[in-house]
A and B are shown apart, each in its own frame.
Chain A
Amino acid sequence: MTGPVDVQIGKPPEEGDGQRRIGVFICHCGGNISDYVDVAAVRDALKDEPGVVVAETTMFACSDGTQHDMIDQIREQGLDGLVVASCSPKLHQITFRGVSKRADLNPYAYTQVNIREQDSWAHGDDPDGATQKAINLVRAGIGRTRNSEPLVPLVVETTPATMVVGAGIAGMRAAIGLADTGLQVYLVEREPEVGGWAGRFGAMFPNDRSGREQIAALTEQVSRRSSITVLTGAQLVGKSGSFGNYEAVVEVAGDPPETIRATVGSIIIATGFDSYEPENGEFGYGIDGVLTLPEFKELVDAAGGGTLVHLGRPVRSIAYVYCVGSRQPGGNEYCSKFCCAATAHASILVSALDPQIRQFHLNRGVRTYGKYELMYTQARENGAVYMTYPDDTPPSVEQGRDGRLAVTTTDTLTGGREVTIPADLVVLVTGMVPRANTGLTDLLKLPVGDDGFYNEIHPKLRPVETVVDGVMVAGSCQGPKTATESVASGMAAVAQSAAILKKGVAELDPLVATVHVDDCTGCGECLTTCPYDAISTRDAGGRTVAEVSAAVCKGCGGCVPLCPTAALDLLGYTDAQMTAMIDSLVEVPVS
């Protein structure tokens, strides 16, 4: 089950009379299109274009009835190409590719032409211009379909195994989920112990269960599954092959270090977060008694139901300074969103230790969303005082001559009055920052957003997939998340991993780069252009030519303009197709 197999690419169209048989359907979209674009004029202008056999207007191209009509026409007229001019391809390209498939028409001979978002809606002030633009756009679509080649999806056999990188709460729970779907799992952890952040903590919100106990329970469940291999002190250092069959190389610390190779179908990255580390002097950080949120959490956990003590002295008052390192223009601009709830929770734990401890929460607006609002209410009912400071006037932390801390803040609710609060402890409510994982990021070519966290393809519709096929991201490496949310995204990655690996084979879009062997001089220019290493060389009858691995190619086309002899083409966007489209935009092209 190793190595991509059965990679197929379509053949060029059969040589016949060279004439295609194309059906063109132009949609009114109720009136969304036809109120501005004269759709009948568009049809009349294009019905005699070379290769056009059917040209019709339709009230709603996407309606069930019209789809059936299209299928009938494709069959009855023996169509080998389809053009639908309606809305954005983001909406219905997949619909009409489906229509093509159901009518046994090659789905890659279908072109979606956008005459709504990019025409009628944008040019309501110019109906004549919109109609002319629609004619040009549809003619370009016909040109693209006329020059299309019948392609078949790439089919690769997949390996039923997943590597999970990062054994925090999300990664561990995901490993168990994967094993239970019947997949082999490699759980790789950089630290000597599994458990991540949760493994360090006592009671965690929302149910007050100890993080350490939850990790212990997960560890036990992992150990009961023989299909999970746990590698600690281990790092993913090498990845080759392609989706469905990645060859992963893991280096395990030791003397000497051990190298382990594993073939896996997919990889889930769950490397978590780092806590923001304040600069020395930032809100008094560095002074005894000024702690970050995780440092404070460990102190509260250490009290173990007894007295809250810092440096041998019982704590009588605490000032929390919110949004340290978060929501800062020029710094971490995002909100870490867990910290307000985590601090309300810590405040409740402190009140439980000793209700007499005075607690002041200096915030910029409390974001205890959803059910966490209940913790915010309880913290206040326990006597905690919440004071909001203005965005542009953060509190200052000073140490008096007696060694006590004092926090001066501006309270917006008392008319911007300045208040100085003496405190035994100052807790800097620090947010999450991305982990320094440059090696892993570079190795997997993971896309990183402006804020330094990993980017999924789509936050709602493809929440754990990345642009690297078969590589998923889960947990707080995607951005700040609570433990609850991290586990949920870990389980989403389990479902996605199972969805792609349990079938045993994967279909990939065949719109990849291709080499015209006759034009390739074997100069090697293209070999270094692909960051995914999809291009290599092969022998073609005694001469060296470039070769594209269809399973590895991402279909960006970035290599295409770099070939000095124009021997590279991107299927679906070939030179012939693009040229036909460009020529269609004017009535009389030069050549």
Chain B
Amino acid sequence: MATATIAEVAFKPRILVFSTHNISDPGIDLAGSRHLHYPATATTIAVPCSSGIRPSWILRALHNGIDGVFIASDGEECAYLPDCASRTAKLADAAQALMREQGIDPQRLRMAAVCSVCAEPFVKYMREFSAQLVEIGPVTA
């Protein structure tokens, strides 16, 4: 049991963040520009629009051993698609359905709108999600 406890303490969940070039990625940049710290195990890949993320990419990351996937979506601000938020929500639902089928806790996928100046909210999301993933434990799928 003692070993497990040490493992838990040492466990730094790996998070893949999907950001968007025009909205959330500048927000994440701003967090760095302001030297706000969040776990270094959170890594961002930017795409043009959050509604273009394939659920298979999310599943692939989780199968690879990424402990959680966070979609930093455009929300209502998306310059491309007026229904971006609902589109992104739908593909997140689709990904969670696949996760359930494959025995992966759907809480390992989170989504929130991150605006181009949302540095503090982003950092808060990362810290919270990381803490939540510590509770859930390492992905084993």
Give the B-binding residues of A (Cβ under 8 A): 88-90, 114, 116-126, 129-130, 132-133, 136-137, 140, 445, 447, 455, 457, 467, 511, 531, 554-561, 566, 570, 573, 575, 578-579, 581-583, 585-586, 588-591
Contacts and interface: CB of A to CB of B under 8 A. Distances in A.
A122 B35 contact: yes
B40 A133 contact: yes
Contacts of B14: 585-586
B61 interface: yes
B66 A586 contact: yes
Contacts of A118: 28-29, 32, 44
Contacts of A140: 43, 45
11 contacts: A116-B32, A117-B30, A117-B31, A123-B40, A447-B79, A558-B81, A558-B87, A561-B51, A573-B47, A573-B48, A582-B45
Given A88-B29, A133-B41, A561-B54, 16 more contacts: A122-B40, A123-B37, A123-B40, A126-B37, A126-B40, A132-B40, A133-B40, A133-B43, A531-B82, A556-B80, A561-B91, A570-B48, A575-B56, A582-B45, A582-B61, A583-B64
Q: Helix, strand, loop or mixed for chain B's interface?
A: mixed
B26 A90 contact: yes
B52 interface: yes
A459 to B, nearest CB: 12
A591 to B, nearest CB: 8
B31 A560 contact: no
A332 to B, nearest CB: 18
A129 B37 CA distance: 12
Contacts of B41: 129, 133
Given A558-B84, A561-B53, A121 B33 contact: yes
Contact of B80 (A129, A133, A558, A589): A558
B40 A558 contact: no
B137 interface: no
A309 B81 CA distance: 52
B81 A585 contact: no
A555 B51 CA distance: 11
Contacts, number: 136
Contact of A570 (B21, B25, B52, B61): B52
B49 interface: yes
Interface string B55-67: 1110011011110
Nearest to B81: A558
A578 B45 contact: yes
B7 interface: no
Contacts of B35: 121-122, 124
Contact of B57 (A124, A511, A578): A578
Contact of A117 (B33, B48, B57): B33
A137 B38 contact: no
B69 to A, nearest CB: 10
Nearest to B83: A531
Contacts of A132: 40
Contacts of A124: 35, 37
Contacts of A90: 25-26, 29
